[in-house]
Structure 1
Amino acid sequence: MCGIIGCIGHDDETVDVLLNGLSNLEYRGYDSAGIALKQDGIDIRKREGELDELRRSVRRDSDSLAGSFGIGHTRWSTHGPPSDENSHPHSDSLGRVAVVHNGIIENYQAIRDELRSEGIPFTSDTDSEVVPHLIARNLEQGADAEEAVRAAVDRLEGSYALAVIVQGTDKIFATRSDSPLVLGIGDGACYLASDVPAFLDYTRDVVYLDDDEFVTLTEDDWSITDLNGDPVRKTVQTVDWTAEETGKSGYDHFMLKEIFEQPTSLRQCLSGRVDELDRRITVEELDDLGEPDVVQFVACGTSYHAALYGAELLRDAGINARAYLASEYATSPAPVSPETLVVGVTQSGETADTLSALREARNRGADTLALTNVVGSTAARECKHVLYIRAGPEIGVAATKTFSSQLVSLNLLVEHITGRAQVDQSREFLSALRDLPNDLQHVLDESNAREIVDEYADKDAYFFIGRGLNYPVALEGALKFKEITYEHAEGFAAGELKHGPLALVTENTPVFAVVTGDGEQARKTLGNIKEVEARGAPVIVVTDGESEAERYADHVLEIPSVHERTAPMLANVQLQLVSYYMAEQLSRAIDKPRNLAKSVTVE
């Protein structure tokens, strides 16, 4: 989780660059924040709480706080609660070394016990604090700064992205293993960060670092080597995001902005990939993808709900497909063969559980594909194939536009795998894809979600139900609701209510039912609606009107009547708006929900 920033080459502006970078990384963690600046020695400022607490501390010391380079950190707690002591950067006892860390050091306790036996004191509960103490001990034993850092890293087991400054050395050292780290190349300055938005105000030229690569930054140069010190050749890439795209653009929250960006993000996803006249879907990235006998999806959270949708589409097309929670798959993988395709669905491309599952699948001989939003991410680099969802930057912790872009991208993948795009794909479906951005815009313009939430605040719990392709949308609706409202919400396959959850249904448990089309699934869902109505529960239906579900509802969230495969995407937008407006009414921290972070880089 956590966010790392480092910069060198800004002289008097270093503090502002670090704080600005941390502000752009708060979606990765906001339990505490801190910076370390290289002056004659190393000056550290860190505070529990959100970044404003650190800003106030820095403002009080603005006359004395300066440095030609530095590092910073915004924390998502793993070891030890949020506190000033547990905040990063961490230092050795004499203040000669400062370190920021993202990840989990699995052997930290053994190292901590070893160092304590030598009389070295610890001031925090974190796993990260062992790193500066290891480096300091190596310095005392005669190593120079770079040797001391390398030797310390060699002792670590687990996941880490590290940035280090050492007294007496005008360099920043950094390395990574299973945690993201990217280098920014500016005009007379260089940057390090967990994610590109940290330095987009200064440069769009980046180098994506791979595991076990070691970076050295000076005021006028940068170099990358492997852990043995041998040079590594890297390509400088230019990202297509701008600093403006990662701002709020006048919206109260990133989440609302990103909900309303969905028509644009879907157009980006579809651009150049759908030709309605030729009845063809063309995804050039997948030209070398074979025809798998079995498809396994691995994903977490929102991406897992997208994976469920993709697996359902493939099964409907006659392909053996299943979605797995990545955290379960990594430790208990399903059988694979060379004809198995394992698809990692991950917005960031850095989700630790999903990366572990993909690596396990690859080691067992399966073909792998990353369906991700981030060019140059670890998943994109490690998988044999990659399909980008092209959603653009998403800053809000609760995923919105990336989910809808994942669903569209999965439709493209399904068409490619089944071959229908080149043979007998109906003009109706291609037309539906073409019209989807406009249909989604219509939902955004006409939604009455804001008015509905007034009646349903402060209830005991909230249930979301759906069948078929609407089942993943029900799960996602419940997840969004609980993430940002902090209210209890659960999603169910509609038919499962009567197998236990119905015991919880009362007049204080509103039920959101997703009902689209007029087929058997819609008719059976109407039966489930009547079951909860009989127990006094209020019902809110999200519907296209095809099944007359509105006759049985207390409130209706309307969507246009569209293709059965695109209807769930429109229903999802209505549920996103319900969650947002309910959280707004309850005065929740919508962009920074408690205990959560955007990119989950720990297992």
Structure 2
Amino acid sequence: MRFMCGIIGYIGVKSAGPILLDGLRKLEYRGYDSVGMATFEGSGITLKKDAGRIDDVAKRERLGDMQGNAGIGHTRWATHGGVTKENAHPHASCDGQIVVVHNGIIENYSELRAALAERGHFFRSQTDTEVVPHLLEEELRRGNGIEQAVRNVVKQLHGSFALLVLCSREPDKIVAARRESPLIIGLSDHGTFAASDATPFLGQTKHVAYLNDNEMAVLTRGGAAYFDFNGNPVRKEVAEITWKAEQATKGGHDYFMIKEILEEPSAMRNALLQDRKAFTEFAHEIASAKKAMVIACGTARHSAIIGKHLLDRVAGKQVEVMIASEFAYFADNLTPDTLVVCVSQSGETADVLDGVRKAKAKGCRVLSIVNVVGSTLSRLSDRAVYLNCGPEVCVAATKSFINQVTVFYLLAYAMRGAFDEGVTELTKVSELLLKAFELNDARAKAIAERFVKNGNAYYIGRGVNFAMALEGALKMKEISYVHAEGMPAGELKHGTLALIENGTPVFLLNPTDYTYYDTLSNGLETKARGAVLIGVGNKNNTAYDEFIELPEVPEIFYPLLEAVPLQLVAYYAAVARGRDPDRPRNLAKSVTVK
């Protein structure tokens, strides 16, 4: 099962309650079906939690009023156990002296839980996490301090975890531990933070340290000490986050999604701010590889499919694109002459990281295209190219997709020794993204509202536009909950035409490129069966019932312009149906567990 949660801890001189609540609001994109906080007040721990969105729970439970200078918090996306108050984090030991928040999956929790129950422990939830405070409780009974207790317990856990532990016996510290789930330490002049990412404490500090797998940190008011799971000290370099706190706010817009769509022109130009020498070396390593495989998930995979077309057509380099979760099943036959290129916005996608580890074990070099500096992926890779799009809060990827595709364009140019030409051409295209928005904002809204009662939509294209059909359909389904399917236009006749009926919207990705006439012919096949044909391109056609107009560009660049109106249609479809486009049900921003 896949999921993502957000955790945060703070210990310092300020009141923990408001800081934790503010941080959880900024982590809500990682999970939002329940929330909870625990703080140390006076002589004991106060724990409050419930199912529901953060603001609703905060109001009911008065989370912002919680006292104390040390605390931990969690926003959850349910996996083990349903969406209930009991299953919300934090989870406590039997005696209430230990509380824990957790992001990850403890694979052997059933065995651990059964053994603990036999020893008299009482469980309040159905979660895997709850075994941790009970195991810690037993360690404390044996006379161990909380640091040693955590070291002993993590060695019993199979699976992935980022843990924050607060203990009333030692309230002057929070213990953090990580294996295969992200955890970042923030260092400020008033206290110390730990969180799933830097977003929740950007307004407090930009100074961070990154925990690696099988490492732990002991947080105090004055800083943090770092150790491996055997208790050996680990030295950490303190890095500085370059993002600004205001970049992770809505900036007056109704939703993050529309704000981030509007940021795409500037984000795309930032993607072009690459070190010429380092980027060219990155490109040449792909070009010279005997075999190159690109692995990614979701939207990042769609960008990789576009990249596959670009590298072939522009640079004459053929690469293979694989879904990261399937890559593991082909890893046994990897050889050291295979280059693995990973694409991930967060750099924490579990399936991608699993692929990296398998590739490394086979002696392969690994390159990454990633947004978050200091992410696990960037640190595991032999080389990394950064997207430079800033924080992206909406669950649905928008500007990060634009930047991923932009990087692939620039790689194609750099492979043929034309880096500067690529920057020049792509800068011109970035200026047309806003025009694509202006041409289609009202039109996209009208189209979305026209089909507000339709339960199905189809997106078709050929060549590189097939990847955009996949991406358009993904955007529609993930935020509006409309069943949407993207496919090669030529595949319609092999089954999907049977689903077309009167009024079915079909988006035809059809700029005047090398696929134009064949794609148009396929669109007419759907129209003959009652479809409402929505043309997306630079040239209108009398066959189109609706037309989404793209500015004129050299044909190879149309995917970048197609992205904008497809994102807008999905956005307005979600709004028209009363959905929250920033927080689609059952989904989270990045998936840190397989």
Measured against the shorter chain, the TM-score band is over 0.9
Structure 1 partner of 2:54: 51
Structure 2 partner of 1:278: none
Amino acid at match of 1:523: Y
Structure 1 partner of 2:488: 493
**Pick aligned residue for 1:584 from 558, 572, 575:** 575
Query: Do residues 102 (structure 1) and 95 (structure 2) align?
Result: no
Structure 2 partner of 1:180: 182
Q: Deviations over 1:82-122 (max 9, x none)?
A: 11000000001110100000000011111011101111111
Query: Do residues 311 (structure 1) and 312 (structure 2) align?
Result: no
Residue 285 of structure 2 aligns to a residue whose secondary structure is coil
Amino acid at match of 1:309: I
Q: Deviations over 1:181-211 (max 9, x none)?
A: 0000000311000011110110011111111
Cα deviation, residue 443, structure 1: 0.7
CA contact 1:348–1:373 (8 Å) conserved in 2: yes
Q: Deviations over 1:282-307 (max 9, x none)?
A: 72673883621221111111111111
Structure 1 partner of 2:71: 70
Query: Do residues 292 (structure 1) and 293 (structure 2) align?
Result: no
Cα deviation, residue 436, structure 1: 1.4
CA contact 2:506–2:533 (8 Å) conserved in 1: yes
Structure 1 partner of 2:464: 469
CA contact 2:80–2:126 (8 Å) conserved in 1: yes
Structure 1 partner of 2:438: 445
Cα deviation, residue 320, structure 1: 3.0
CA distance in 1, matches of 2:37, 2:498: 52
Which ranges of structure 1 fall in alignment gaps of 5 or more residues? 275-280
CA distance in 2, matches of 1:46, 1:161: 19
CA contact 2:308–2:319 (8 Å) conserved in 1: yes
**Pick aligned residue for 2:525 from 527, 531, 542:** 531
Residue 443 of structure 1 aligns to a residue whose secondary structure is helix
Q: Deviations over 1:414-449 (max 9, x none)?
A: 333x33427xx9x5x654312011110111122121
Cα deviation, residue 168, structure 1: 1.5
CA distance in 1, matches of 2:413, 2:289: 13
**Pick aligned residue for 1:402 from 400, 405, 408:** 400
CA distance in 2, matches of 1:109, 1:454: 48
Cα deviation, residue 455, structure 1: 1.6
Structure 2 partner of 1:192: 194
CA distance in 2, matches of 1:460, 1:172: 49
Q: Deviations over 1:147-188 (max 9, x none)?
A: 111111111110000000111202100010000000000003
CA contact 2:272–2:423 (8 Å) conserved in 1: no
Residue 225 of structure 1 aligns to a residue whose secondary structure is strand
Structure 1 partner of 2:124: 123
Summarize the Cα distance change of 1:287–1:495 in structure 2 as closer, same or farther, 3 Å threshold.
closer
Structure 1 partner of 2:388: 390
CA distance in 2, matches of 1:33, 1:478: 31
Structure 2 partner of 1:214: 216
CA distance in 1, matches of 2:436, 2:332: 40
Query: Do residues 254 (structure 1) and 256 (structure 2) align?
Result: yes
Structure 2 partner of 1:137: 138
Residue 550 of structure 1 aligns to a residue whose secondary structure is coil
Residue 556 of structure 2 aligns to a residue whose secondary structure is coil
Structure 2 partner of 1:354: 352
**Pick aligned residue for 1:557 from 548, 553, 563:** 548
Query: Do residues 458 (structure 1) and 459 (structure 2) align?
Result: no
Query: Do residues 266 (structure 1) and 268 (structure 2) align?
Result: yes
Summarize the Cα distance change of 1:215–1:295 in structure 2 as closer, same or farther, 3 Å threshold.
same
CA distance in 1, matches of 2:279, 2:317: 19
5 Å matches for 1:31-42?
A: 31-39=33-41, 40-42=43-45
Residue 331 of structure 2 aligns to a residue whose secondary structure is coil
CA contact 2:21–2:63 (8 Å) conserved in 1: no
CA contact 2:31–2:588 (8 Å) conserved in 1: yes
Amino acid at match of 1:56: K
Percent of paired sites with the same residue: 44
CA distance in 2, matches of 1:222, 1:363: 32
Structure 2 partner of 1:277: none
Amino acid at match of 1:535: R
Residue 542 of structure 1 aligns to a residue whose secondary structure is strand
Residue 352 of structure 2 aligns to a residue whose secondary structure is helix
Matched residues, number: 585
Residue 250 of structure 1 aligns to a residue whose secondary structure is coil
**Pick aligned residue for 2:6 from 3, 22, 36:** 3
CA distance in 2, matches of 1:535, 1:57: 53
CA contact 2:346–2:375 (8 Å) conserved in 1: yes
TM-score, normalised by the number of residues in structure 1: 0.94
CA contact 1:293–1:319 (8 Å) conserved in 2: no
Structure 1 partner of 2:538: 544
Cα deviation, residue 563, structure 1: 2.0
Residue 185 of structure 2 aligns to a residue whose secondary structure is strand
CA contact 2:5–2:74 (8 Å) conserved in 1: yes
Q: Aligned-residue CA RMSD in angstroms?
A: 1.7
Residue 115 of structure 1 aligns to a residue whose secondary structure is helix
Summarize the Cα distance change of 1:250–1:411 in structure 2 as closer, same or farther, 3 Å threshold.
same
CA contact 2:501–2:531 (8 Å) conserved in 1: yes
Summarize the Cα distance change of 1:232–1:351 in structure 2 as closer, same or farther, 3 Å threshold.
same
Cα deviation, residue 331, structure 1: 3.0
Q: Deviations over 1:274-329 (max 9, x none)?
A: 8xxxxxx9726738836212211111111111111112222334323111010011
CA distance in 2, matches of 1:309, 1:74: 35
Cα deviation, residue 395, structure 1: 0.2
**Pick aligned residue for 2:19 from 17, 23, 46:** 17
CA distance in 2, matches of 1:225, 1:61: 32
Amino acid at match of 1:307: A
